[in-house]
Amino acid sequence: MQRALSIFLCSTACACASNALGDFVTLAATQSATIYQEDANGANGSGQYLFAGRTNQGLTRRALLRFDLAALPEGALLLSARVNMNVAQGNGGVRPMSLHRGTAQWTTGASDPAGTESVGVAAMLGDCTWQWASSNGALGGTAWSQSGGSFESIASATASTTVLGMQHLTSESLRADVEAWLANPTENFGWLLLGDESAIGTARRLDSAHAAAGGFVPSLELEYTIIPAPGAIALFGVAGLLAFTRKRRTTQDKS
């Protein structure tokens, strides 16, 4: 009886997990910003665009992204993660772009450069810049551990990107980042988006979390399954096994 119960519970758990595959949730970026190499105090925390790569003048831009994971159901087991972004304008042909897991808290303020946003404006309270993870709006604040942002040197995901249109970055490491943030929400520092910084004329202009009408806000697409709690599996399994046992006894009694 005990052996039969163990086998039944195991098969029930596997069946529950298998039947739950294929659920998706798509989250829009809640924060984004661009930081500008040539201006330690230049910010863009609320503009409609992000920049990554090097300009024709050899100036480096980097972007930051963060997603609120609260909408993911409790108990979700992540199967895959993909970040989708739209390049509104770009240079240099097909070029790599990569997402690097952030290692420090950063904030965004109300800064919003005019025009194409190719250069930043003076940081306002709470903006992040090339020097500051969180500016006090008066040439000070909380500095990055290194200028240009604090992030893992090894990319979580890399993709060859075109000069126009939707771009998709996905990998097992990207999924692992999200899983780690679900386990420790206070460590969700998002990703830094790096363009091809090995040559000039590689910069991309992308839609931001504050994209204008007709733009595409960066999104995080997650595939997940819900694994029932052990107690629920056990109760379900015991009920099924008891029903099977009763049916078997009834059949034996009739014979």
Summarised one tens digit per residue, pLDDT across range 38-51 is 999 999 999 999 99
Give how far Cα 94 sits from Cα of 91, 140, 207, Å.
9, 38, 18
Looking at the fold, whether 55 and 83 belong to one and the same domain comes out as yes
Q: How many CA atoms lie within 13 A of 249 on its CB side?
A: 5
The percentage of residues in the chain with a pLDDT greater than 70, rounded to a whole number, is 81
Looking at the fold, whether 79 and 58 belong to one and the same domain comes out as yes
pLDDT in tens, 84-95: 999 999 999 999
Whether the pLDDT of residue 158 is over 50: the answer is yes
Looking at the fold, whether 207 and 235 belong to one and the same domain comes out as no
Looking at the fold, whether 122 and 61 belong to one and the same domain comes out as yes
Looking at the fold, whether 29 and 143 belong to one and the same domain comes out as yes
Whether the pLDDT of residue 139 is over 50: the answer is yes
Looking at the fold, whether 71 and 128 belong to one and the same domain comes out as yes
N- to C-terminal Cα separation, the chain: 21
Looking at the fold, whether 186 and 201 belong to one and the same domain comes out as yes
Looking at the fold, whether 124 and 239 belong to one and the same domain comes out as no
Looking at the fold, whether 42 and 11 belong to one and the same domain comes out as no
Looking at the fold, whether 93 and 132 belong to one and the same domain comes out as yes
* Residue 227 pLDDT: 82
Whether the pLDDT of residue 238 is over 70: the answer is no
DSSP SS3 for 47: coil
The C-alpha atoms of residue 255 and residue 245 are separated, in whole angstroms, by 15
Give 91's DSSP letter: -
Whether the pLDDT of residue 136 is over 80: the answer is yes
Quote the Cα angle for 50-56-61, to 5°.
Answer: 30
* Sign of the dihedral through C-alpha 222, 35, 167, 219: positive
* Residue 253 pLDDT: 52
pTM summary value: 0.83
* Residue 6 pLDDT: 43
Whether the pLDDT of residue 252 is over 80: the answer is no
Domain that holds residue 205: 23-226
Q: How many residues are listed for the chain in this entry?
A: 255
Q: Average of pLDDT values for 188-195?
A: 98
Q: Average of pLDDT values for 157-176?
A: 98
The C-alpha atoms of residue 206 and residue 164 are separated, in whole angstroms, by 9
Looking at the fold, whether 105 and 129 belong to one and the same domain comes out as yes
**Cβ–Cβ under 8 Å, residues 221 and 81:** yes
**Cβ–Cβ under 8 Å, residues 125 and 136:** yes
Tell me the sheet residues that pair with 76. 226
pLDDT band at residue 239, thresholds of 50, 70 and 90? very low
Phi, psi of 6 (to 5 degrees): -60, -45
* Residue 75 pLDDT: 86
User: Which has the closest alpha carbon to 104: 20, 187, 18?
Assistant: 187
pLDDT in tens, 54-110: 999 999 999 999 999 999 988 899 999 999 999 999 999 999 999 999 999 999 999
DSSP SS3 for 33: strand
Looking at the fold, whether 41 and 69 belong to one and the same domain comes out as yes
Q: Average of pLDDT values for 122-149?
A: 98
For the chain, the domain total comes to 2
* Residue 229 pLDDT: 65
The C-alpha atoms of residue 30 and residue 36 are separated, in whole angstroms, by 21
pLDDT in tens, 109-134: 999 999 999 999 999 999 999 999 99
Name the helix (H) or strand (E) containing 30: none
* Residue 182 pLDDT: 96
